[in-house]
């Protein structure tokens, strides 16, 4: 399963970021996300026992959603995520070694970038999807300017300050999708709360799709 597969099947272009989720919470939250229509889920590696959380998430919803890790900083972490069944590799920065390791293992890297230089480094390392982070600090005009020079076939996603209230602005600016953290999940939130927020984001996307 790839991001292309997920999007082609009609799922919203939204990565749910579960920063701070605990392994004993992640299955119920993952099920709530999938029930709401979200099919891309990341557990940041600075969460409690993140690899165990990813393993449980993959076992529970991996046949319906593409799961993986966020805040991946080292190539060795890519290997560890692969070992527990994760596919998605999201980073806050541009690290060519992390990107190329993920590509070599058939995984889906989504590296963070802030400048055109970083965007081109990420693309050269094999990334097909880049994450503008923190998006709210740069704005849609900045993204549009960078998109004009990116290689053909390289997509951008906005992460940081994104959610149901501005998904239309980012997609209209040329983003393929969004990563949503606090707008979907904050540490300690129940599965019910997460489901409600996820449904609101999916509804906002459907309203403009």
φ, ψ for residue 113, nearest 5 deg? -145, 160
Q: Do residues 67 and 41 lie in contact, with contact meaning Cβ atoms separated by under 8 Å? A: yes
What single DSSP character describes residue 155?
A: E
d(CA 61, CA 63): 5
Which member of 25, 31, 118, 131 is catalytic?
A: 131
Based on the residue annotation, tell me whether 22 is a catalytic residue of this protein.
Answer: no
d(CA 82, CA 84): 5
Which member of 25, 31, 42, 108 is catalytic?
A: 42
Based on the residue annotation, tell me whether 42 is a catalytic residue of this protein.
Answer: yes
Angle, nearest 10°, between helix axes 50-61 and 23-36? 40
Q: How many residues does the chain have?
A: 209
CA angle 126, 129, 131 (to 5 degrees): 120
Q: Which residues are catalytic?
A: 42, 131
């Amino acid at each position: 399963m790839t991001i292309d597969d997920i999007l082609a099947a009609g799922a919203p272009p939204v990565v749910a970021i579960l920063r701070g989720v605990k392994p004993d919470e992640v299955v119920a939250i993952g099920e709530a996300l999938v029930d709401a229509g979200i099919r891309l889920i990341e557990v940041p590696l600075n969460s409690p026992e993140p690899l165990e959380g990813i393993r449980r998430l993959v076992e529970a919803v991996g046949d319906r959603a593409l799961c993986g890790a966020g805040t991946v900083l080292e190539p060795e972490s890519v290997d560890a995520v692969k070992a527990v069944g994760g596919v998605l590799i999201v980073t806050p920065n541009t690290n060519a070694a992390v990107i190329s390791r993920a590509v070599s293992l058939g995984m889906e890297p989504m590296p963070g970038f802030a400048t055109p230089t970083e965007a081109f480094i990420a693309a050269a390392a094999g990334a097909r999807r880049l994450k503008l982070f923190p998006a709210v600090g740069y704005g849609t005009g900045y993204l549009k300017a960078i998109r004009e020079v990116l290689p053909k076939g390289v997509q951008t996603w906005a992460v940081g300050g994104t959610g149901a209230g501005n998904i239309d602005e980012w997609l209209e600016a040329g983003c393929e999708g969004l990563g949503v953290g606090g707008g979907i999940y904050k540490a300690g939130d129940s599965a019910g709360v997460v489901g409600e927020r996820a449904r609101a984001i999916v509804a906002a996307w459907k309203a403009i799709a």
